[in-house]
Amino acid sequence: MSSHYEAPIREPLVLGEKSYHDISVDVGAPVLGKANKSWWIVFTIALIAFLWGLGCIIYTVATGIGVWGLNKTIGWAWDITNFVWWVGIGHAGTLISAVLLLFRQKWRMAVNRSAEAMTIFAVVQAGLFPIIHMGRPWLAYWVLPIPNQFGSLWVNFNSPLLWDVFAISTYLSVSLVFWWTGLLPDFAMIRDRTTSPFQKKIYGILSFGWSGRVKDWQRFEEVSLVLAGLATPLVLSVHTIVSFDFATSVVPGWHSTIYPPYFVAGAIFSGFAMVQTLLIIMRKVSNLEAYITILHIEYMNKVILLTGGIVTTAYIIEYFIAWYSGVPYENYAYLSFGAATGPYWWAFWALITCNLIVPLTLWVKKLRRNIVWTFIVALIINIGMWFERFDIIVIDLSKDRLTSTWAMFQPTFVDIGTFIGTIGFFFVLFLLYARTFPVIAQAEVKTILKSSGESFKRLRAVHGDDHSHVQTVESYPADAGPSANVEDKNFDSAFNELDEDSENNEVDYEANKGKIDQLLNGVGTFDPSIQTQDDLKKINGVGPVMEQKLHQIGIFTFEQVSRMTDREYDLLDEIISEFPGRAKRDDWAGQALILKNKN
């Protein structure tokens, strides 16, 4: 249909011959299958880091902030550095889901769910720091304007730290409902696909009884659009407010009107770097390479380039204005022997290298489309953006107006342990998410399949833009009535080509009885009363004819196929003599193992 027109110059966003059902299967696979060994290994490491960090937090709260490396001059260091770093990381999620929705960017659909999850989990980490860096965190509720017995003693609404409270809690809660609303149709898909009663119950609750009515979808889309419209200024405002923590102060180097836009650009810059880090691993681990393609990675690299350029410009402006202002303190903080040549020169040059120089390589198309290089650059940016916050906070504090208060900062193991703990906590949450949540917004990806799917783009290239994708019913079985028109039975779908001859397809059971028994001894037998048979045609190299033959031998499940070794392959070749060596060449056992775990 012409409504699916898309300029041929655009590369496909969904690779391979995918149908709507394939999308459900691929997205549902990690949720419906079992975790593999590497998941458990990474999860255990993350959990240990989290518990270690938890220990550090409890130690801090129980003993006092003095266990950190702070001193009277430098009252903020790793705590607020990590806070701003995590909040910054959280921004890419909302940017992808909200801003790109407003710009109608179709490529956002494969990445938005995970980016939003990253937002939520990163903001949770960020939210820890304002609490634990308090001297008396048990009185944290005093930041809320609650009527009380102290003559109703209120809070002071002039402080950016109070604005932070409102900004972060609004940001977290709005992101959460935005994410959850988008999840409803996907939870419903899992609910309706799972065979386990426990999962059915859980996803039934999580999906809020989503049924996919046309009116629901109409409201759903409106809600998504309005939330995107609200979340976009929210993203900008939240990091702006975070930047006010510094910008509204009188500290030379902090007091700067460029901070709000510059912090926001930096947040998007670091957030996208984190999305790259996570998605490059996830597409591999969860077998989602057909959805999170090299094109998505390139697009995200372009956003990194853009925001990196804005950040670079901001650095240059900061330097220029420090000199241009004629204020000796400003000039001192930046130039003479402030940042670049002072005792923290290494932190300053780490920032310049990681944020300004290394990302420049992404201008080269080859490198931008190179997954390994992207991964390395993303990691470097994450490190560089941590240094940016560290430099802003610590360098500017360490040498302020009075020389008699100059000091250096040295972190203790508790500072470091707390940071590592939040990284661990983040990955604990993200790994749990990757196993229990549909990591791709499948309902959204299905809407772009016909316009941006590789197979449909090819169809249009061959048949013209007006080619209809409707799968027509070829003939109705007159006697059985219309309800007998079941797909595959009486008509073909576009994705199912029965080209093999399905007649004349018998395994000579009597002659091969001995070998068949031997083969089944190796792979195990199929018991229809407790097992269900799998669609063996999903194995590359098995067509309908071969499947029929395997069935006759007694092989019905992926599990059986996955147990095949060289000995079984040879036996199979002897029993079915048409394609000798085929099973081994195509590695049926390996394929079946993957398919088995997907189910």
Partner 1 sequence: MASKKIHAIYTDDDLLMQAVKQTRAANYHISEVFTPFPVHGLDHAVGLAPTRLAITSFLYGLTGLTVAVLMMNYIMIEDWPQNIGGKPSFTFYQNMPAFIPIMFELTVFFAAHLMVITFYMRSKLWPFKKAENPDLRTTDDHFLMEIDAENHDVEKLTKFLYDTGASEISLIENEQDH
Q: Which residues 482-501 are close enough to bind partner 1 by CB under 8 A?
A: 482-483, 485-487, 491, 493
Return the residues of window 163-192 that contact partner 1 according to CB under 8 A.
163, 166-167, 170, 173-174, 177-178, 181, 184-185, 188-189, 191-192
Pick from 144, 222, 401, 585 the residue near partner 1 by CB under 8 A.
Answer: 222
Return the residues of window 398-457 that contact partner 1 according to CB under 8 A.
442-444, 446-447, 450
Does 208 participate in binding partner 1 (rule CB under 8 A)? yes
Interacting stretch for partner 1, rule CB under 8 A, among 161-169, 310-318, 408-416, 544-552? 161-169
SS (H, E, C) 18-80: CCHHHHHHHHHHHHHCCCCHHHHHHHHHHHHHHHHHHHHHHHHHHHCHHHCCCCCCCCCCHHH
Of the pair 95, 132, the CB lying nearest partner 1 is at 95
How far CA 175 is from CA of 116, 118, 172, 243, 336, in Å, comes to 7, 11, 5, 20, 43
Pick from 16, 64, 212, 590 the residue near partner 1 by CB under 8 A.
Answer: 212
DSSP string, 124-193: HHHHHHHHHTSSSGGGGGGGS----TTTS----TT-HHHHHHHHHHHHHHHHHHHHHHHHHHHHHHHHHH
Minimum CB distance to partner 1, residue 224 (Å): 9
String of contacts with partner 1 for each residue 65-84, x by CB under 8 A: --------------------
Of the pair 212, 590, the CB lying nearest partner 1 is at 212
Of the pair 236, 381, the CB lying nearest partner 1 is at 236
Pick from 154, 320, 406, 509 the residue near partner 1 by CB under 8 A.
Answer: 154
Return the residues of window 541-570 that contact partner 1 according to CB under 8 A.
none
Answer yes or no: are the C-beta atoms of 165 and 146 closer than 8 Å: no
Does 123 participate in binding partner 1 (rule CB under 8 A)? no
User: DSSP 3-state assignment of 291?
Assistant: coil
Return the residues of window 223-252 that contact partner 1 according to CB under 8 A.
223, 225-227, 230-231, 233-234, 237, 240-241, 244
Does 215 participate in binding partner 1 (rule CB under 8 A)? yes
Does 218 participate in binding partner 1 (rule CB under 8 A)? yes
Answer yes or no: are the C-beta atoms of 247 and 260 closer than 8 Å: yes
Minimum CB distance to partner 1, residue 220 (Å): 7
The dihedral built from the CA positions of residue 329, 334, 337 and 343, taken in this order, carries a sign that is positive
Pick from 193, 255, 302, 584 the residue near partner 1 by CB under 8 A.
Answer: 193
Alpha helices, DSSP H, located in 352-441: 365-368, 371-390, 396-398, 413-436
Does 377 participate in binding partner 1 (rule CB under 8 A)? no
Query: Which contacts of 357-364 are long-range, i.e. CB under 8 A and separated by 24 or more positions?
Result: 358/384, 359/304, 359/305, 359/308, 362/301, 362/302, 362/304, 362/305, 362/308, 363/305
Pick from 220, 246, 419, 558 the residue near partner 1 by CB under 8 A.
Answer: 220
Return the residues of window 8-37 that contact partner 1 according to CB under 8 A.
19-21, 24
- What one-letter code names the amino acid at 183? L
Nearest to 430 by CA among 127, 120, 179, 54: 120
Of the pair 219, 513, the CB lying nearest partner 1 is at 219
Cα–Cα distance for residue pair 505/507, rounded to 1 Å: 7
Minimum CB distance to partner 1, residue 21 (Å): 4
Binding residues for partner 1, rule CB under 8 A, total 83
Minimum CB distance to partner 1, residue 251 (Å): 15
Query: How many CA atoms within 13 Å lie on the side-chain side of 238?
Result: 34
Answer yes or no: are the C-beta atoms of 526 and 556 closer than 8 Å: yes
Minimum CB distance to partner 1, residue 148 (Å): 12
